[in-house]
Every structure is written in C-alpha cells, then in structure tokens.
Amino acid sequence: MIDRPFEHADDLVAAARIPDRGILSQTISDANGVRVVLFGFASGEELSEHTAARAAILEIVAGTAELVVGGERLDGRPGTWLRMRPRTPHSVRATTPLVLLLTLLPEGGG
C-alpha cells in the first residue's frame, strides 16, 4: 500500500451503495477530528429529526430530498450544500434514490 498525503474518491455516486430498501452509510475519511460519511438512501427513506453535537455540512451528490433544517423546509438536489451549527435539528427524506455526503467538523468548528 502506498502512503499518500491525501485521500481520493474517483466517483462518489459509484462508491455509494444505494439499497433497495433502507439507508446505508460508510465512513470514507476520519482524520484530525473531521469525519466524512457517504450515505445511500432508497427512495422514500428518511432520517427523522435529530441533532449532532458537532457542526456538520450536508452535500447532495445525486438524487433529490426534502430537508428540514432548523424548522425550515428545503428542496435538496445535486449541488445542494448546507452547513449547520452544532445541535441544529434536521431531517432528510429521499424523494428519489439519494447519495448524500455528510462532513462532521471538529469540536469547536461550529
């Protein structure tokens, strides 16, 4: 194995596993207090309202979703990006098969 000073993904959509039912997640990076998680949602699946103790960034890579963030409804589509402060209530419902990238920032990165 080659020790590289970087991490790389050729194609996040191809790397995501979108199940027929449910939600699958895989951590693709976890270093220096930053955790990056790639989610694959089947159409209609939902992460109900929750919060995270750390600041977080959501990016829609493929598909569409209904997002509710801090009580505000947002339409998510490829290219949608949002940053949330710690403990911001949010939910995600996939309206089509969905690939979502979540970045959890280091403590104090809010």
1-60 per-position pLDDT tens digit? 567 888 889 999 999 999 999 999 999 999 999 999 999 999 999 999 999 999 999 999
Overall average pLDDT of the 67-82 stretch = 98
Q: Global pTM?
A: 0.92
Given the candidates 2.60.120.10, 1.10.357.10, 3.30.70.20, 1.10.287.3510, the CATH classification of the domain at 12-104 is 2.60.120.10
CB 107 within 8 A of CB 34: no
3-state helix, strand, coil in the chain (%, to 5): 5, 50, 45
- The set of long-range contacts for 80-83, using a CB threshold of 8 Å and a minimum separation of 24, is 81/57, 82/57, 82/58, 83/55, 83/56, 83/57
The answer for residues whose C-beta is within 8 angstroms of residue 98's C-beta and 6 or more apart is 18, 39, 40, 41, 43, 45, 60, 62, 63, 64, 65, 76, 92
